[in-house]
Structure formats: C-alpha cells, structure tokens
Amino acid sequence: MSSESKSLIKAIIGLGNPGRQYESTRHNIGFKVVDVLCERFGGQWKEQNNMQSAQVIINGKKILLIKPQTFMNSSGRVMPFLQKQGIGVENILVAHDEMEIQFGSLKMRSGGSARGHNGLKSFIEQCGQDFMRLRFGIGRPDNRDDVADYVLANFTESSNEVDHLTEQAADMIEQYLGD
C-alpha cells in the first residue's frame, strides 16, 4: 500500500463482541488493540449508534477508533454511520483475530477474503474487500469442529504475553500510520 493510501486512514475498527463474558476471549483481540490506542492517545469512549467510538490524534492524523456493539457477525453495520462521516472503505483499518496464522504473529494486509471470519464477512458485505487489516494471529484449534468454542474461549497464554502482543499490535498500527 502506498504512503498516499496510508494517509487516507481515518478510522480504526477493532472487532469483538460486547459484554463482560467476552472481554478476554480470542475473538475480542481487535477490541483490545483499539483500547490500547485509545488509552495511549488520550481518547474517551462514547456510546453512539450501536458502537463505542473515540477520537484520537495519531502521528498528527485525526483518527476515529470504533468498537462495534452489534456482536461480531454484524460488525459491518457501522459502515453506513462511517460513510455519513465521509469515511469510506479506503479510509478504514480493521484489527481482528486471525486463525490462519500462529498465535502472536501480527500481519498487515490490504484486501482479501473473509477466510471464514464472520466479522470480516460482515464488512465485506457492506463495503467490499479493499480495506486495510491488522491480522492478530490466534492459531487454530486441533479439531476443526471446535472453531466456535476456540475463538470464544479465553486465551490460554499468559495475560502478560497477550498484553505485550496487544501493545505490539498498537505499535504496528502507529508505525503504519506514521510511514
């Protein structure tokens, strides 16, 4: 992605499920990443339009942080609100869990399919595939039948390790926006 398109990022959406029971699950790592960015850059979460949002400045750029409150499978419902704010698909970066890469691996990618991730599928249905993603590797369960239970389970790795990786993910986004 060119530096010109990097400068177009206006919103970072963290994927997850609302509710205390999901806070520490693998599927909520996107929420954790935007929580780190919000705290790091002095944002304040506000409830509006089935989402939590916070305005921050990262590397001199005004960025809207979003946590959809519609549950994972309907995360794309935030797009009409964002579009009314003048934020299109080329202006978003989505932080999400990724089973296709090993735990702890972090990758930036533009475009691509949902790869079975229903939160991404919801975004793709709303606006197409051409948006930037931060993929946070959570690994895959040994048994394919256990996928839903796996993503909705808490991390088995230490909370310190998960927190450290979440900070690294936020660093990666910050660096991406600064390039």
- The CATH class of the 3-178 domain is alpha beta
- The tens digit of pLDDT for each residue in 64-97 reads 999 999 999 999 999 999 999 999 999 999 999 9
Question: Confidence class of residue 2 from pLDDT cuts 50, 70 and 90?
Answer: very low
Nearest residue to 30 via CA among 104, 97, 107: 97
Mean pLDDT over 95-110 rounds to 94
Out of 27, 96, 117, 164, which one is annotated catalytic?
Answer: 27
- Express as a percent the part of the chain with pLDDT over 90: 75
Instruction: Give Cβ neighbours of residue 126 (< 8 Å, ≥ 6 apart).
Output: 76, 77, 79, 80
Q: What is the DSSP letter of 46?
A: E
Mean pLDDT over 90-111 rounds to 94
Whole-prediction pTM: 0.93
- Is the pLDDT at 108 greater than 90? The verdict is yes
Give the pLDDT score at 44: 98
Q: How far is CA 65 from CA 39, 94, 109, in A?
A: 11, 10, 19
Question: Domain map of the chain by residue range?
Answer: 3-178
96 is known as an active-site residue: no
Looking up tokens 């960025």, which residue turns up?
63
